Amino acid sequence: DVPVLGGHAGITILPVLSQATPKVDLSPAEIDALTKRIQDGGTEVVAAKAGKGSATLSMAYAGALFGDACLRAKNGEAGIVECTYVESTITESPFFASKVTLGKDGVQAIHPTGQLSAYEQEALAAMMPELKESIQKGVDFVKNM
């Protein structure tokens, strides 16, 4: 289990490897390489398929897991924690992906980022301009519909 913070694309995706369960001891080079592979996973799949498809199976599977978690929470199961993208005040970004606790009526609690490594703190700061710009584009799109 690796929490993922931030947004949806490129550097706005921050896998928090320092909070992985089970704990794993990675070198700085391994952390950097693995972070970049996670951030570019969809692009990597498209490249591997030579442009003849996308990472839709990965997205479908993630959606199915999240849908299952939502249904379990809606049915009264307690303690369901998932990472999801929500309106949030835990960072300077108005929307942000982080761990949340799900309940019968949706999101019960938005969790803070938790302790981040120096690498993750730098990555979080670096993503903010791009994440906020992307959010603003989405907000403007909806306002102009």
Sign of CA dihedral 138, 140, 141, 145: positive
Reading the block at residue 76, the tokens are 């009264």
Bridge partners for 100 per DSSP: 82, 110
Q: Quickly tell me which residue has 């909806």 as its tokens.
A: 142
Tokens of 140: 């403007």
Active-site residues: which are they? 8
For 90, phi then psi, to 5°, come to: -80, -15
